[in-house]
Amino acid sequence: MKKILLSLCSLVAISACQGPAEEAEAAIEMLLADASNPLSLTLEDTSGWRSTLSLIERASASVESDSLWARYTLVSADVQAQIPGGALYAVRNYLSVYDSLPKRVEGALGLLGAAIVFEEKLQDHGRAIQTLTILTDAYPNTAISRTAMELRDVITFETEASLLDKIHQWKAQDLPQQP
């Protein structure tokens, strides 16, 4: 708790003399530093997310560079995806990057992020597969496309295996008992 409070205080102190982009970069560095220490991460710990999210969104709105806008919007979506109830906001941000930059790698990252949120946070296998299919169609013969195809296959076969298990359970329940 002291570590989080200290990092938030340092973020406020740094932000007092910097613009939105510099503040966002400092926040991203802090997020990356926290992610590099697995002991500091817990799924329940989302403290400070409001200030981090608003800081990154302010930076996204204030920069003129498409690359920086995409970076801050993708990071904003990453933060929202970790917040309970923030999955749909994350998908919205990921897809806005794809819609704005469809021919750039940031667009592919937006689609991949949206697919992962659909799969992991929302348990929506169909939309995850659909998003990954859009990615493979929009960015053929790229490394991210191959990754998307592999992930799509995993989701497809995992879903079909689960469905097959359910069918076997259903058949077992409906079979008449033999005397």
For residue 150, tell me if it sits in a domain.
Answer: yes
Is 175 within the bounds of a domain? Answer: no
Chain segment 153-179, per-residue pLDDT in tens: 989 887 666 666 767 777 777 665 565
Name the DSSP letter for residue 38.
Answer: G
φ, ψ (nearest 5 deg) of residue 104: -115, 165
- Contact criterion met (CB below 8 Å) for 51 and 28: no
**Cβ-proximal residues to 148 (8 Å cutoff; 6+ apart), any chain:** 111, 112, 115, 132, 135, 136
| pLDDT over 50 at 70, yes or no | yes
Q: Specify the DSSP element, H or E, that contains 69.
A: helix 66-82
Structural domains counted in the chain = 1
**Tokens 């946070």, residue located:** 121
Confidence class for position 151, pLDDT limits 50, 70, 90:
very high
Distances (CA, A) of 113 to 66, 73, 158: 18, 12, 19
Give me the domain span that covers residue 163. Answer: 47-168
Residues 157/163, Cβ–Cβ less than 8 Å: no
Of the candidates 123, 128, 67, 127, which has an alpha carbon nearest to the alpha carbon of residue 100?
67
Tell me if 37 is assigned to some domain: no
Whole-structure pTM value: 0.73
Residue 42 lies in a domain: no
Nearest Cα to 73, choosing from 96, 52, 51, 50? Answer: 96
Flag whether 12 is in a domain: no
Tens of pLDDT, residues 124-150: 999 999 999 999 999 999 999 999 999
Residue 114 is part of a domain; what is its CATH number? 1.25.40.10
